[in-house]
């Protein structure tokens, strides 16, 4: 484990550590270094994950994809962990499916999240219908502000609650096979106990995102000006949207790397993350000359 994280306190009786606030910035630095060294495999894995999620709009298949979504995410996290322990990263999005204990808990998590999503859609049904009607009418003054506020606040609260439950809960299930309820409760406790370091991390992520958005707006304005002189076309639209797509995939990949790094420093011990043959049965490490690999 990196020496710059060696100032962590010992584990508390709850099974996690409370790290200093400055660790939040160190997490970002280490995650960025790993992302730079494994950019291609991470971007491709996240792109594949997004393509799988896009199938959730299909009637029957979408329900299956929604329930199995934690399986694919856990596979990505397993690949990231293996890449830290023994580079380069080889990511198998179905790696968690090969582990009977975590597989059951991850499917249960997917089922709970799917039912929660259906409940949210049911509760926000009238407001969403109002907003959709206002947008299709094309009159900005007719947008129902109360409905918009309710949808925003409800969605924000749902994202925060789900994030508290799964930020450490999902890695605990994937890496250790911890039962779902225990993993969720432990995740909430660890986040509340480490709110300082996580707040510092969030602050830096917001600054980075604002800087990225500012640069992308300028780049997009230049591209629009150039393409307007050449004439609008489908290819032109794709060229304009391509930088946003790449940046979005990069930010998503960085967040998954951060999820592992945070879990490692708060939950894991130095001996657990050393390269050992016993820790890597779930990842296919065939002795070949490939630098990166994404499997599904």
| Mean predicted confidence (pLDDT) in 269-291 | 48
Domain boundaries, position 66: 3-295
Q: Residues 20-33: pLDDT tens digits?
A: 999 999 999 999 99
pLDDT-based confidence at residue 280 (cuts at 50, 70, 90):
very low
144: Cβ contacts below 8 Å, ≥ 6 apart: 127, 130, 131, 134
Q: Residues 125-151: pLDDT tens digits?
A: 777 777 777 667 655 556 677 777 888
Res 134: pLDDT? 67
- Cβ atoms within 10 Å, residue 211: 10
DSSP state of 86: S
Number of structural domains found in the chain? 1
Is there a contact between 93 and 45 (Cβ–Cβ < 8 Å)? yes
pLDDT-based confidence at residue 4 (cuts at 50, 70, 90):
low
pLDDT of 178 above 50: yes
Q: Residues 212-236: pLDDT tens digits?
A: 888 888 887 877 777 776 565 666 6
Q: Residues 72-112: pLDDT tens digits?
A: 999 999 999 999 988 888 899 999 999 988 999 999 999 99
- Interior angle at CA 92, CA 180 and CA 283, nearest 5: 85
pLDDT-based confidence at residue 294 (cuts at 50, 70, 90):
low
pLDDT of 152 above 50: yes
Q: What are the φ and ψ backbone dihedral angles of 287, each rounded to 5 degrees?
A: -80, 90
Between residues 200 and 242, the one the model is more confident about: 200
């Amino acid at each position: 484990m990196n020496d710059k994280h060696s100032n962590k306190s010992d584990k508390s009786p709850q099974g996690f550590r409370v790290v200093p606030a400055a660790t939040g910035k160190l997490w970002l630095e280490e995650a960025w270094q790993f992302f730079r060294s494994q950019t291609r495999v991470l971007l491709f894995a996240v792109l594949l994950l997004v393509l799988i999620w896009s199938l959730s709009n299909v009637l029957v298949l979408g329900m299956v994809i929604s329930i199995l979504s934690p399986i694919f995410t856990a596979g990505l996290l397993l690949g990231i962990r293996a890449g830290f322990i023994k580079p380069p990263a080889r990511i198998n999005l179905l790696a968690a499916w090969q582990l009977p204990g975590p597989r059951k808990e991850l499917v249960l998590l997917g089922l709970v999240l799917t039912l929660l999503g259906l409940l949210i859609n049911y509760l926000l049904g009238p407001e969403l219908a109002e907003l959709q009607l206002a947008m299709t009418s094309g009159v900005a003054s007719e947008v129902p502000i109360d409905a918009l506020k309710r949808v925003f606040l409800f969605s924000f609260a749902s994202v925060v609650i789900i994030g508290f439950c799964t930020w450490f809960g999902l890695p605990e299930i994937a890496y250790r096979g911890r039962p779902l309820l225990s993993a969720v409760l432990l995740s909430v406790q660890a986040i509340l106990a480490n709110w300082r370091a996580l707040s510092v991390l969030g602050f830096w992520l917001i600054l980075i995102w604002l800087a990225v958005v500012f640069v992308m707006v300028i780049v997009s304005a230049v591209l629009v000006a150039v393409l307007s002189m050449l004439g609008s076309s489908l290819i032109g639209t794709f060229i304009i949207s391509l930088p946003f797509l790449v940046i979005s995939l990069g930010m998503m990949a960085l967040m998954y790397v951060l999820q592992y790094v945070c879990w490692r420093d708060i939950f894991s011990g130095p001996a657990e993350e050393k390269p050992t043959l016993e820790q890597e049965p779930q990842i296919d490490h065939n002795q070949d000359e490939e630098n990166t690999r994404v499997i599904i």
